[in-house]
């Protein structure tokens, strides 16, 4: 006799994280906030792909930590950052899983940006 601990509900939900060798950049109001050839692309069931940028390739001086947090049952607790622009902050424009669940450990130390809150997230050859 076997026991399905997920009762079939979570079995179809997948989170995959893979290195992305392409150049990925985040640009807002003409300012480059992130530029890397070392991003991780996270693919999650039912959601668009998300590029996670290593902190070393993010202009952290232009980000300010927010008090906002959220929880994902597949990745863990997320912390958020405001994008500091010449026109004022873009609230909660980026997020990070600083202590992700084991299944998402590959994105520890990386940040992602909401495409709707920045002008562009480019991926080029």
C-alpha 109/C-alpha 34 separation (Å) is 14
Residue 29: which region, alpha, beta or left (left: phi > 0; alpha: psi -120 to 50)?
A: left
Kindly report the pTM of this predicted structure: 0.89
pLDDT tens digit at each of 125 positions of the chain: 333 334 445 568 899 999 999 999 999 999 999 999 999 999 999 999 999 999 999 999 999 999 999 999 999 999 999 999 999 999 999 999 999 999 899 999 999 999 999 999 999 98
The dihedral over CA atoms of 97, 104, 77, 94, expressed in degrees to the nearest 10, equals 30
Enumerate domains of the chain plus CATH numbers.
15-124 (2.170.150.40)
């Amino acid at each position: 006799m076997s026991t399905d601990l997920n009762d079939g509900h979570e079995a179809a939900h997948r989170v995959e994280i893979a290195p992305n060798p392409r150049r990925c950049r985040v640009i807002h109001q003409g300012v480059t906030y992130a530029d890397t050839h070392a991003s991780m692309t996270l693919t999650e069931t039912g959601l668009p792909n998300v590029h996670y940028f290593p902190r070393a390739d993010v202009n952290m001086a232009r980000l300010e930590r927010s008090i906002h947090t959220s929880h994902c049952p597949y990745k863990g607790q997320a912390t958020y950052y405001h994008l500091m622009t010449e026109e004022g902050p873009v609230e909660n424009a980026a997020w990070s899983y600083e202590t992700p669940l084991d299944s998402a450990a590959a994105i520890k130390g990386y940040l992602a940006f909401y495409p709707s809150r920045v002008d562009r997230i480019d991926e080029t050859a």
